[in-house]
A and B are shown apart, each in its own frame.
Chain A
Amino acid sequence: MNKYFSTKMSLFVFAAPALLLFTVFCVYPLLPEIWMSLHDHDGFRNLGFVGLDNYREVLSMPSFWTAHRNTYLIVGISLLLGLPLSMMLSLFMDVQTPRLRRFFKTAAMFPAILSVTVVAQIWLAFYEPNWGLFNSILHSIGLSDWTHSWLTEKKTVMPSIGLSFLWQYIGLNAILFYTGIKTIPKDYYEAALLDGASFAQVCLKITIPLLQNVIKYVLILSTLGSMAFYSHVRVMTAGGPGDTSRTVIYQMYYMAFDTSQFGKGTAIAVIFILQCLFISFVIQRFVARGKLEF
């Protein structure tokens, strides 16, 4: 029996349903998308084969590059600011008493379980320029010069939306890190403490190196999640003002649905998929390659 289940055939049989579903729902939809990106298509009618014209036009649009700049800004905020903060939060949770830990875990998870629309509405109220929370606080402490129309000024709109995104998911990542921390054997920490290691040394020499698989998972999740950033933008600014806060996904939606240029919209989608594949490959290839041994 054991021999039977250890064969490659049995592994294939067990993997087959997942592979089938992956093919049906992930691989197959790409084919008509690629086909459509090579045609002039208004969403209803195929108006003819245009080769790579859609790609050429899309790549020459300033709004396409604005969307990329915004998307990678969100990715940057998420990775460079969000992940370290999540890690710090998880380390902070780990040293709390069980009661406080429960509180922090609940508080950290709370924004993540809220609907994006709810979160966006809360932050819209914060950012409201005339009587919103942020400007009111700035006025009340005498910093009126620092007030902004946060969601309509070019320099503030993306960081403002990015902050709402960060707030929503920072806790979720912290919980993932914390779960990883709990799998590290206590013996390591006890030995380090006996050797007189400081908290910072324990974190840098034990916790973070042994969390590499979790870090890799969170990195992939955060990177691809940030690249697919859409809902907050949709609710908070509708990509505006103008195209100022459009992300790549929003630009794809705009081209396909708002302007009925599905050929160009799917061309953006194909370019986006290639970017995601490349980034996933880079993370898989270069992050946490060493085998972990406890």
Chain B
Amino acid sequence: MKNKSKARAAVLMASALLLLSACSGGNEKGNSQPSDSSPSVAAGSAEAPKDSAQESAGTDGKKIKMRVITITTDENRNNIMEKFIKPKIAEALPNLEVEFEPGGGGEDMANKLKTLNASEDMPDVFWNDAGYFTPLKSTGSIMDLTPYISKDGFLNKYSVPDALKHVDGGIYSLSSGADTYFTPVIFYHKDMFEQAGVQVPATFDEFVQISKSLKSKGMVPAVTPGKDGWGPKLFLLQQMIQIGDPQAMADLVSNKTNFDNPSVQEGAARIETLVKEGVFPDGIANLDYGPAMEMFTSKKAAMLMMFTWELPNLAKDETVDFFPFPSAGDKYDPTKSVQFWGSPLNGYAVSGKTKHPDEAVQLAEFLAMADALYFETTGAPISLQTGNPSSEKSPLMQKFVDWYNPIPQKIASMALNSLDARASAEISTQGANLLTGEYAAADFNKALSKIWSENTWFNN
């Protein structure tokens, strides 16, 4: 009897497994062979949008439901959502019912989209990033927007349309074009500098010296988000290489050199110097974005190493000014070389599997325009033309534009334009290690040398 019960249990379990296997098998087949009636245009396809999609959309009088996932981690994004998207979307797109899901940012955003993609539950419109573009493209989860935005004329609203093109010639994301104007600088409080009797440094050594002076006055010299290697990965390593040898950095971004190059290796050594000389506060390796910003805005820290996307917010404080990263050698001149953020892949993208591609593209266009309208109000330069007369820039923004625009050598960001997912994650890990002060630059460079040699970004 006991054996019979065991046998029954085994049969029940086996039946359940067979049933589940059968179900999952059917799904895989169905998803790999989209029906002919699907109006979607998948990645890499230059097929024009089908009229049938337009006809079918909303013909029964009901609103079309759309899901959007976008970045929700910084003040700019929150302002765009609250002031330019939510109040205007119903009027601009009356046929759509849009559900916004917070995406977070950085790795959280990437992981969320990877998971949704793996479970075939991609939102209709989402914020795309170079870091997760490749797997989305390979699975047909991101649409080439070229035929859509060419047909409706949205492409013509960009002052430099070619800047939207990926290396394969497709356009996968729509942005305000403000990204190109984001670069890391060092913000500082003028009054704290005066209080400590220090001047804006021209060289790396001077920077270390004024940091010591600030620290001796009881101030935290400089902050930047260090948790999960945010700062080192996104700009600090690049800046520390660039201030010694900008050409070496440009070569690294284009894979013409590697971490065996002495000029490249000096970047990590400079970060090690900053940490060991006490430029950053204790615990910098675990300092998140919000607390880092708070340390600066509450004047606990005299300097903030940050991208200029925070410039409009920081410019509200009249004691805030900025200076470029100071030079660590004769090869670098801050008026001749600068890092720029952004990639043609960063922006609002449309799922290759959306049921309503035309409407989804319209929604992506609306969101990109909302970004542009917002950044326009901050005085930030944008390449998506809104049709509004240009607004007056704050003095700090004007100072930035006057410095940034004439710089002849603009070096792309390594984090967005040179790293596959694995290399990106490993550089985060190594960067955080470097900020602890317990990890030697030599060990960092050795690890990076291996990571770089296994980086598949340039194989695609």
Contact = CB atoms under 8 A, between A and B. Distances in A.
Nearest to A22: B13
B337 to A, nearest CB: 30
B46 interface: no
Interface string A221-259: 000000000000000111111111000000000100111
Among B135, B282, B283, the most chain A Cβ lie within 10 Å of the Cβ of: B283
Given A19-B12, A19-B13, A241-B432, A258 B285 contact: no
A261 B283 contact: no
B425 interface: yes
B111 A153 contact: no
Interface in A33-73: 42-45
Contact of B138 (A32, A44, A151, A152): A44
B229 A258 contact: no
A243 B436 CA distance: 12
Interface stretch (A8-16, A79-87, A97-105, A171-179): A8-16
A43 B282 contact: no
Interface stretch (A23-31, A197-205, A211-219): A23-31
B228 A24 contact: no
Contacts of B13: 19, 23, 27
Given A12-B5, A23-B13, A241-B435, A258 B284 contact: no
Interface string B5-20: 1001100110011001
Contacts, number: 119
B421 A23 contact: no
A258 B449 CA distance: 20
A48 to B, nearest CB: 15
Nearest to A258: B425
Contacts of A8: 1-2, 4-5
Interface string B423-460: 00110111011011011000000000000000000000
Given A19-B12, A24-B16, A45-B138, A149 B5 contact: no
B285 A152 contact: yes
B139 A45 contact: yes
A128 interface: yes
Contacts of B420: 260
Interface residues of A, number: 42
A31 B17 contact: yes
A129 interface: yes
A250 to B, nearest CB: 12
Contacts of B286: 149, 151-152, 236-237, 240-241
B227 A240 contact: yes
A117 B107 CA distance: 18
A257 B111 contact: yes
B281 interface: yes
Contacts of B399: none
A249 to B, nearest CB: 14
B114 interface: yes
Nearest to B112: A257
B153 to A, nearest CB: 34
A130 interface: yes
A143 interface: no
Contacts of B107: 257-258
B282 A23 contact: no
B228 A238 contact: yes
Given A8-B2, A151-B286, A242-B430, A23 B114 contact: no
Given A241-B433, A241-B435, A129 B283 contact: yes
A242 B114 contact: no
Nearest to A20: B16
B16 A130 contact: no
Contacts of A28: 16-17, 20
B385 interface: no
Interface string A123-139: 00000111000000000
Contact of B432 (A15, A242, A257, A260): A242
Given A20-B16, A28-B16, A11 B5 contact: yes
B429 A243 contact: yes
B64 to A, nearest CB: 27
A153 B433 CA distance: 10
8 contacts: A16-B12, A19-B9, A130-B281, A151-B286, A152-B283, A152-B285, A242-B433, A258-B111
Q: Which 6 interchain pairs have the tightest Cβ spacing?
A: A242-B433, A129-B282, A241-B285, A258-B425, A129-B283, A259-B422
